[in-house]
Amino acid sequence: MSHTTIATLMQMKKEGEKITMLTSYDASFTRVLEAAGVDSILVGDSLGMVIQGQESTLPVSVDDMVYHTRCVARGRRDALLIADMPFMSYSSADQALSTAGRLMKDGGAHMVKLEGGSMQLETVRQLTLNGIPVCAHLGLQPQSVHKLGGYRVQGKDEESAREIKEDAMALESAGAQMLVLECVPKALAAEISHLLTIPVIGIGAGVDCDGQVLVVYDMLGITSGRRPRFVKDFMPESGSVPAAVAAYVQAVKEKRFPTEEHSFQ
């Protein structure tokens, strides 16, 4: 396997090959993901909940993200490595440059991910101008969970769907090279994936996105509490962690995941 780059993922989109992504927070899990052929790894601020036991992603610091990104980078050989910019670490373009610089220089990330639509356009432009690849994130944005009124499906009515679509196109124009769509109706996600030239990665956004991402602990069935509808536990049918990750990769590549039961209308 050769090194996966943003250009590799763009080519996969062009050729209709599904992109696989999972979260990882340490070197050991990263090696398991790599062995199963995962295309890209996200060091998610989800670590606030699954690693630190927080109630949301909001308390996660830049230092936390740099530490875990560095751990993952040590275990990574081929996959594209993306790191989340944590809450309130990119509220101005200058602050975003500082945060992204740390995640890439000290953490070893290849790309940074930030949440938000039109309000982030200038930040995306500045990061891109400074040679920092950006993955945008629309739909349900966990860092804005209090503003959104909880973990709910976004873009269900005509107006909010149009806003998500316009934001997606504007973010691509500003220089974003990838987009994560979380918890949006599958038809909207399919339309956005078709409209954009950059890869669109879905989580709770239907099978027609260019790729899929899940929190690794969710797809292994070891997250406590209520499991989101879009999650499938791959452990029972697989019997081991490496086999479960391989089953996830295969299911995404063969367009068998997500199914209707993991999607929103």
Domains and CATH numbers, the chain: 6-262 (3.20.20.60)
Mean pLDDT over 184-202 rounds to: 98
For residue 1, what pLDDT is reported? 45
Q: How much of the chain exceeds pLDDT 70, in percent?
A: 98
For residue 216, what pLDDT is reported? 98
Residue 226: band (very low, low, confident or very high) from pLDDT cuts 50, 70, 90: confident
Mean pLDDT over 232-251 rounds to: 97
Residue 231: band (very low, low, confident or very high) from pLDDT cuts 50, 70, 90: very high
Active site residue 182: yes
Positive or negative torsion for Cα 212, 217, 222, 227: negative
Active-site annotation holder among 182, 237, 260, 261:
182
Residue 51: band (very low, low, confident or very high) from pLDDT cuts 50, 70, 90: very high
pLDDT at 64 over 70: yes
- Rounded Cα distance, 43 and 38, in Å: 14
Q: What is the average pLDDT score of the chain?
A: 95
pLDDT in tens, 127-176: 999 999 999 999 999 988 767 666 788 999 999 999 999 999 999 999 99
Mean pLDDT over 1-22 rounds to: 94
pLDDT at 2 over 80: no
| Neighbour-count burial for 14-25, b at 16+ CB within 10 Å, e otherwise | eeeebbbbbbbb
